[in-house]
Chains A and B, each alone.
Chain A
């Protein structure tokens, strides 16, 4: 699986939008971009994933660059409950074990 690069940490104010960047310059044509987040003292939880087109769900939006070498997870209105470590992960569905290769993620700090 290709590697992703994320900032170590980011801060945002409550009630404001948050844009979490991820670089994946060596992404292959079949890699999906997945985002998970891990709240303190909990296991990770799925947020969103996409291939080429931008994606929206109840939790967030995923904006994918046209060349797919970067993506941005968008939280439209951050709350204190969104404070977590956010992981950007590439996964090729053709891989036989579907394992996710995890980096260190971005620690998102929400200020009240």
Chain B
């Protein structure tokens, strides 16, 4: 069965450009999370989607970050006017509500 997939696997961009990261969750998983992981550090929560409820955006670090999810399927994380400090691995996870989270392989973002 298919797990969580993310694309692209790697993204190199120039400072000031916008980037869009994609996450395809496991079919049937109503919960979807985005995390950021800087080199050598633990995961930092960004945003949480649950069904049709309003997303929990409490972890987004600035208004340059936004995310959308269509129903219970694909989600996109958008970073506008990227900065070098945005360089990190961006991880997506999905789950049934309250259950273990299944993670994708991540997108490694490098801002030059």
Contact = CB atoms under 8 A, between A and B. Distances in A.
Interface of A: 34, 36, 41-46, 49, 87, 93, 96-105
A100 B43 contact: yes
B48 interface: yes
B25 interface: no
B42 A104 contact: yes
Nearest to A45: B103
A98 B98 contact: yes
A43 B48 contact: no
A72 to B, nearest CB: 20
B105 A42 contact: yes
B42 A102 contact: yes
A99 B43 CA distance: 11
Interface stretch (B60-68, B69-77, B79-87, B89-97): B89-97
Query: Which one of A41, A43, A102, A105 has the highest number of Cβ atoms from chain B below 10 Å of its Cβ?
Result: A43
Contact of A43 (B44, B58, B100, B105): B105
B56 interface: yes
B103 A98 contact: no
**A-B pairs with lowest CB-CB distance, top 9:** A43-B103, A102-B42, A46-B100, A102-B43, A97-B56, A97-B48, A99-B45, A104-B42, A44-B103
Contacts of A34: 100
B98 A101 contact: no
A79 to B, nearest CB: 21
Nearest to B43: A102
A9 B39 CA distance: 16
Contact of B102 (A41, A46, A99): A46
A49 B95 CA distance: 15
